Amino acid sequence: MYEAKIETVKSAIVAIEADRKSGKISLEAIKAVAAAISLGIRPPVVLAGRQPLVCKDVQAPPGSWPHFAQALINAQVQGLELQKLEVQAKAGDETAKKRLGFLTYVLNAVHGALVSARRFTEVQKEEAERAERRRAAKAQAEAERQAREAKAAARRARKAEQKAAHDAILAAAREATEAPKTVQPGQRDRHPRLSLERVRSLLDKEAQKRGQGVGPSEAKLLACRFVYGLVLKTEAEGNHTKEEIEAMKAEIKSVVTAVRLPACKNLAEAQREADGWAARAESFARRQNAAPQPAPAPADGTAPTQPKAERKPRERRYRPAPNGHIRGANVMQIALAKAGIVATAANG
């Protein structure tokens, strides 16, 4: 804004200075001054002790821009030149002398007004820049304040969320009054609770895992055998209802039925095959559970040591007493008894 105004006023100053050097008013100078006046610059000042410029037939306050504009137009139309007027004035021409003074005053007054306008605009520009810097600094300070407040609000929100989470877990813990379950090392639950959906997922997963080197049917049967063993183990733990166990067994037997069906006459025969397969699997599981389990290998890789058998106390056996032996008798008594002197004691 101010840069364009300053450049317009500078162009008018350059045009007026060129006319002062050439000694006459040019059309380019009139255009440049008109552009500067349109910006709303102040008219030339009136020096103390002098009358403001007045042109005939101009309805405006004396010394205003309309008077100076009309004076420039008159000088340009009449073709007045400073050099010629100076020569005529030196020759004693009073009219030329008055015109010389008038044209010189108009050019100097317009030039002074343009220079004053340029300085005033530059001052306005500097003030506007200072105001803009103050506004920017104030806006930055306000933005920093808002950022600090937002950061503090976010910190308070995080603390509130943290406190709410702490209160929630403490409240939930106070309601959970169940005593902890004591288990032996290595007996922790490593897998999620067995369910019908998990049985289906395990069947697919194990069939894919065991499908290398065997046919699809054999892989499915191997998977069924593995999962059926898990179901039997789960049934022994007693953490599921009878209906849940039966549903899982039925799911596995349905897969076995589908595998056996191509080799059977009808669906009923395939189902009987699946029932027999399940019975064999349960019998095998019972035998496995009944068989003694080997001792676990030590962590250092050495062979497990066999537990020592407990020694039974030796039974004390009494030998029959020889003939003629008298319980509690001495040697003499025994000899007399053998000689028939005293009655024979019964054998001990």
pLDDT in tens, 131-174: 999 999 999 999 999 999 999 999 999 999 999 999 999 999 99
Answer yes or no: is 93 within a domain: yes
Domain enclosing residue 129, as ranges: 2-144
Same domain, 6 and 96: yes
Give the pLDDT of residue 345.
Answer: 46
Answer yes or no: is 303 within a domain: no
Give the pLDDT of residue 344.
Answer: 47
Indicate yes or no: pTM above 0.75: no
**Closest of 281, 177, 270, 274 to residue 228, by C-alpha:** 281
At residue 48, does pLDDT exceed 50?
yes
Domain boundary residue among 290, 312, 330?
290
Domain boundary residue among 120, 144, 168?
144
Answer yes or no: is 225 within a domain: yes
CA distances from 79 to 14, 84, 94, 124, 157 (A): 20, 10, 18, 38, 83
Model confidence over 254-265: pLDDT tens digits?
A: 988 888 888 888
Answer yes or no: is 297 within a domain: no
Same domain, 133 and 204: no
Give the pLDDT of residue 172.
Answer: 92
Give the pLDDT mean for 312-328: 58
Instruction: Report residue 187 as tokens.
Output: 């007996």
Rg (CA), the chain: 63
Domain boundary residue among 275, 290, 305?
290
Give the pLDDT of residue 289.
Answer: 66
Give the span between the Cα atoms of 69 and 37, in whole angstroms: 9
Backbone angles phi, psi at 180, to 5 degrees: -70, 150
- The model's confidence at residue 37, banded by pLDDT at 50, 70 and 90, is very high
Same domain, 134 and 18: yes
Give the pLDDT of residue 52.
Answer: 87
Model confidence over 170-219: pLDDT tens digits?
A: 999 998 888 877 766 665 555 678 888 988 888 888 888 887 778 888 88
Same domain, 128 and 45: yes
Tell me which DSSP letter residue 59 carries: -
